[in-house]
Amino acid sequence: MCLAVKAGGPGTFPEWKALFADLMPELEVKDWYDPALNPAQIDYVLVWQPEPGRLAQMGNLKAILSAAAGVDHILADPELPKALPIIRMGGDETATQMADYVRWAVFALLREAPLWYGAQQAKQWARKNAPPTRLSSATRVGIMGLGNLGSFVASKLVAADFTVFGWARHQKQCAGVTCYAGPEGLVPFLQQCDTLVCLLPETPETKGLITYSLLQHLRKPAGFINVGRGPVVVEADLVRALQDGTLHGAVLDVFDTEPLPETSPLWAVPGVLITRMWRLRPHAPRGHGMWCLLLKPWKQVKACL
């Protein structure tokens, strides 16, 4: 069996090879960037953003492992062989990391942390017109995207005493969560939300979905958190919503262009926290944590042998 790896950049291949030597010693591991790589020899790939058409050249390919929690970077290939199973990175550890991040972000917006941080930077002891304290039990949080990660995040927010709503393309069931689905359910869903969390992948249907007019349906002023994909949001519309008070704050970890350009107005808009902590893509192998992330999906691959 032969696996080709493209994740974390060309310099990380020795680490990947060592990691798979522990995980599955009988596996032959090849460097995606090796000019001598024979596509016909490849049975499996672990990839982040494979070049369009490259996977189609691998006539004996049996499965694709995504080096991220999402798979949109693979589905973007117009020549992707349709019958191949795609196995995403992650598991319990990934879901817990995401839930921890989102809970932190929701509480940060609930307690107006971005504005308090601005006051600190300005060396202001007390900010005028500080918002009244609101309890989590009086706060409505909406999750856009109820896949594995979204459903887990929603359950943790329910456990933190938030009132939680969810939206997905198709109807889902999630304990303690009021779920909406499809285009007809989007506006009623948004109308419930004090804070909106985007966990949507980038697809032709979701690209540019979150616009200024869509944000107008939220309970104002609302909070916004994006840990899905940057291109889902029209950034100029997001800036406008922050500037005119439609949104009182935002926590953003993904952007249309990455790294976020120095010229982006998002750097200077009051009420915004920009982070780079939550990254499930592309991973370089780093010890036990990555081993755990790979173990579950690799067991799925082995079960297919």
Domain count, the chain: 2
DSSP the chain: -EEEEE-S-GGGHHHHHHHHHHH-TT-EEEETT-TT--GGG-SEEEESSPPTTTGGG-TT--EEEESSS--HHHHT-TT--TTS-EE-S--HHHHHHHHHHHHHHHHHHHTTHHHHHHHHHTT-SS-TTPPPP--GGG-EEEEE--SHHHHHHHHHHHHTT-EEEEEESS----TTEEEEEHHHHHHHHHTT-SEEEE-PPP-TTTTT-B-HHHHTTSPSSEEEEE-S-GGGB-HHHHHHHHHTTSEEEEEE---SSSSPPTT-GGGTSTTEEE------SSPPP-HHHHHHHHHHHHHHHHHT-
**What is the model's pLDDT at position 287?**
46
pTM of the predicted structure, to 2 decimals: 0.79
pLDDT tens track for 1-58: 999 999 877 888 998 898 888 878 889 999 999 999 999 999 999 998 899 999 999 9
Domain match, 163 and 221 both: yes
Q: What CATH number did the domain enclosing 144 receive?
A: 3.40.50.720
- The Cα–Cα gap between 246 and 240 comes to 8
Give the residue numbers spanning the domain of 162.
Answer: 92-274
192 and 113 in one domain? yes
For residue 19, the model assigns a pLDDT of 85
Whether residues 259 and 296 fall in one domain: no
Do 37 and 120 belong to one domain? no
Q: Which two tokens stand for residue 145?
A: 């995207």
145 shares a domain with 227: yes
- Residue 144, strand partner residues: 167, 198
Rounded distance, CA 267 to CA 118, Å? 12
Average pLDDT over residues 233-246: 98
Q: Which long-range contacts (CB under 8 A, 24 or more apart) does 57-62 make?
A: 58/4, 62/304
- Angle (deg, nearest 10), helices 92-110 and 287-303: 130
Cβ of 125: how many Cβ atoms within 10 Å? 6
Whether residues 249 and 109 fall in one domain: yes
Query: pLDDT digit string (tens) for 123-151?
Result: 988 766 666 778 999 999 999 999 889 99
Tell me, yes or no, whether 65 and 209 share the same domain.
no
Same domain membership, residue 100 and residue 241? yes
The yes-or-no verdict on residue 276 having pLDDT over 80 is yes
153 and 263 in a single domain? The answer is yes
Please write the tens of the pLDDT for every residue from 60-73. Answer: 999 999 887 778 78
Q: What would the pLDDT profile of 75-116 be if each residue is shown by its tens digit? A: 889 999 988 999 887 667 788 989 999 999 999 999 999 988
**DSSP SS3 for 201:** coil
Hey, what amino acid is at 163?
Answer: T
Q: Which amino acid is at 64?
A: I
pLDDT single digits (tens) 164-211: 999 999 999 999 999 999 999 999 999 999 999 999 988 888 999 999
Whether pLDDT at 239 is above 90: yes
